[in-house]
Amino acid sequence: MHLDDWLDFFRGIGSRLREEVSTLSGQPEARREIRRGAGGDTTTYIDQWAEGIILDQLHRLHARGESFTLVSEELGWKEFGKGGYHLLVDPIDGSLNAKKGVPFFSTSLALIEGRELSGTKLGFVVNLANGDEFWARQGAGAFFNGRRLQASHSERIEILAYEANSPANDVSAILPLLPYVSRTRCLGSTALDLCYTTCGFIDLFLIPGSSRCFDFAAGKLILEEAQGIITDSQGKDLGGLPIDLQYKTSLVASASRKIHQQALDALRRT
Amino acid sequence: MHLDDWLDFFRGIGSRLREEVSTLSGQPEARREIRRGAGGDTTTYIDQWAEGIILDQLHRLHARGESFTLVSEELGWKEFGKGGYHLLVDPIDGSLNAKKGVPFFSTSLALIEGRELSGTKLGFVVNLANGDEFWARQGAGAFFNGRRLQASHSERIEILAYEANSPANDVSAILPLLPYVSRTRCLGSTALDLCYTTCGFIDLFLIPGSSRCFDFAAGKLILEEAQGIITDSQGKDLGGLPIDLQYKTSLVASASRKIHQQALDALRRT
């Protein structure tokens, strides 16, 4: 299947999820705990619901003759025939927001050739709370609701966003940067943080602790296709990372080269 | 005018703002700086636009014979005839999100008898990014999209949300609480933080630095009408605060009495 068809397929999944999610998010049913997912997090009903819709679409796609391997936070590895792309899926990125009702969560889908993140050919993220769509094709640019994105040239960190899986450790790690920023945000969906960083809505995004590839693979391509930068907190490129549900890395991302460097310098001084 | 009519009037303002805001938020025009507002913040075009729509509606209301005094972050004090309620307005609460494009900002409207917050008769907050509406009438309960709200009985702080006007100082102030929380959020709109705390989407909300009455008057009534608790960081009730654009206070808010007390204890120990 051509990458344009994969994009249409991803957008179709996004529309299906978005149509139904508003009746579920924040409801007691959404929070019901189902099991522990392949990535280690607890799966709640709203995760299972999203995964069910995605699986249904993948089975239909496979029945039409397409082969691929699903790699999902919730389900682990699952082959649909032999060969083809790896499809890295986070059914709900921002699960806690979705189950509690905070209107900021997304679905993240990345299509990868081979087993390293540098092989990401297509990334798609949809904000399930408001319908914002972001996508990028390797070598063909990044798009926000259909409009081409270009990295901003901000000089000033008006908004530093971060995610903290372990608040007591991770929030301390951002303290050295705070004298340089006007405001902090902690919004709860890594995939969306990266997309809004690409737009320049967020000037600098940090995960001082750990993020896993299904959270950031699609957002990474979107940011990089708009000439933004993403590394770990040591400044190391992430393209060589394997697709692996257990592997964890810190993240530093910005649409501005100058701000990215300023962040790495401040983190190194600590 | 009866309070029910005021509520209809507020909801009408919310609908007007929401209809048009999506074409503006995140656009370069939205960020254009206009002047310094009465509350001390810089007024950008998107603030001025919202204030213009609200003023237009207030002039029409006054022309129909209603008297009241507007107290606005942007415009300061403005009499529409003699006597009547004080109308405390934050045209865009979460201005930075609105101008940058982060989809989380609101309008906050509070109708106050006399000059103290305890005289708040009606509070209305609308999430301009997704249309969520919250309101409360003194003694008559709080409502979320028309459904009656009841404070939750959470025992556990899954989400601690905070706002930090001065990140370098304020983020340090929340560190003592972090060992007790699963996740932090910093979403950027105090009025919405209070409303989502009322719903139990946020378990504990803190402003360790300073908040002003136009940010929290409506949210305070909404939270309290659902049996939630809001105090300053010393545990002091805020009902006696005067309507004053300059007066600033810390905030601690929760829908759960137990969590509120746990937060005050942790803050006192530092």
Q: Mean pLDDT across the stretch A34-44?
A: 71
What is the percent of chain B where pLDDT is above 90?
80
Q: Mean pLDDT across the stretch B221-233?
A: 97
Q: Output the pLDDT for position A169.
A: 93
Q: Is there a contact between A158 and B104 if contact means CB atoms under 8 Å apart?
A: no
Cα distance between residue B234 and residue B106, in whole Å = 28
A182 to chain B: which residues are within 8 Å by CB? Answer: 96, 167
What's the pLDDT tens digit per position in B82-121?
999 999 999 999 999 998 889 999 999 999 999 999 999 9
Q: Is there a contact between B171 and A168 if contact means CB atoms under 8 Å apart?
A: no
Domain ranges of chain A: 3-148, 157-268
- Asked if the C-beta of B130 comes within 8 angstroms of chain A's C-beta atoms, the answer is yes
- Please give the mean pLDDT across all residues of chain B: 93
B22, B41, B201, B204: best to mutate for the A interface, most A CBs within 10 A: B201
- Chain B 7-36, CB below 8 Å of chain A: which residues? 26
Taking 70 as the threshold, does the pLDDT of residue B39 lie above it?
no
Q: Output the pLDDT for position B40.
A: 62
What's the pLDDT tens digit per position in A232-268?
999 999 999 999 888 999 999 999 999 999 999 999 8
What's the pLDDT tens digit per position in B44-80?
888 889 999 999 999 999 999 999 999 997 788 999 9
Find out whether B183 and A164 touch, Cβ atoms under 8 Å: yes
What does DSSP say about strands B181-185 and B157-162: parallel, antiparallel, or unpaired?
parallel
B165 to chain A: which residues are within 8 Å by CB? Answer: 183
Q: Mean pLDDT across the stretch B230-257?
A: 95
A179 to chain B: which residues are within 8 Å by CB? Answer: 168
B157-268 placed in CATH 3.40.190.80? yes
Any idea which architecture A3-148 has in CATH? 2-Layer Sandwich (3.30)
Q: Which residues contact A270 (CB under 8 A, 6 or more apart)?
A: A173, A176
Q: How confident is the model at residue A37 (pLDDT cuts 50, 70, 90)?
A: low
Token readout for B50 is 């919202």
Taking 80 as the threshold, does the pLDDT of residue B247 lie above it?
yes
A41 to chain B: which residues are within 8 Å by CB? Answer: none
- Chain A 55-114, CB below 8 Å of chain B: which residues? 96, 100-104
Number of Cβ atoms within 10 Å of the Cβ of B84: 16
pTM: 0.94
What's the pLDDT tens digit per position in A41-96?
677 888 889 999 999 999 999 999 999 999 997 788 999 999 999 999 999 999 99
Q: Is there a contact between A185 and B186 if contact means CB atoms under 8 Å apart?
A: yes
Taking 80 as the threshold, does the pLDDT of residue B157 lie above it?
yes
A184 to chain B: which residues are within 8 Å by CB? Answer: 164, 167, 171, 186
Closest-CA residue in chain B for A175? B168
Q: Mean pLDDT across the stretch B135-155?
A: 92
Facing residues of B70 across strands? B78, B87
Q: Which of A100, A158, A184 sits opposite B164 (nearest CB)?
A: A184
CA distance B77 to chain A (A): 28
What's the pLDDT tens digit per position in A133-184?
999 999 999 999 999 998 877 889 999 999 999 999 999 999 999 999 999 9
Q: Mean pLDDT across the stretch A98-125?
A: 95
Which among A125, A180, A190 is positioned nearest to A158, based on CA atoms? A180
Q: Output the pLDDT for position B37.
A: 61
Q: Is there a contact between B182 and A167 if contact means CB atoms under 8 Å apart?
A: yes
Q: Is there a contact between B26 and A103 if contact means CB atoms under 8 Å apart?
A: no
Least confident range from A211-225, B21-35, B81-95, B214-228: namely: B21-35
CA distance A143 to chain B (A): 15
* Exposure letters A235-244 (e unless 16+ CB within 10 A, then b): eeebeebebe
B130 to chain A: which residues are within 8 Å by CB? Answer: 103, 129-130
Asked, colleague to colleague, whether A3-148 and A157-268 share their fold, the answer is no
- Please give the mean pLDDT across all residues of chain A: 93
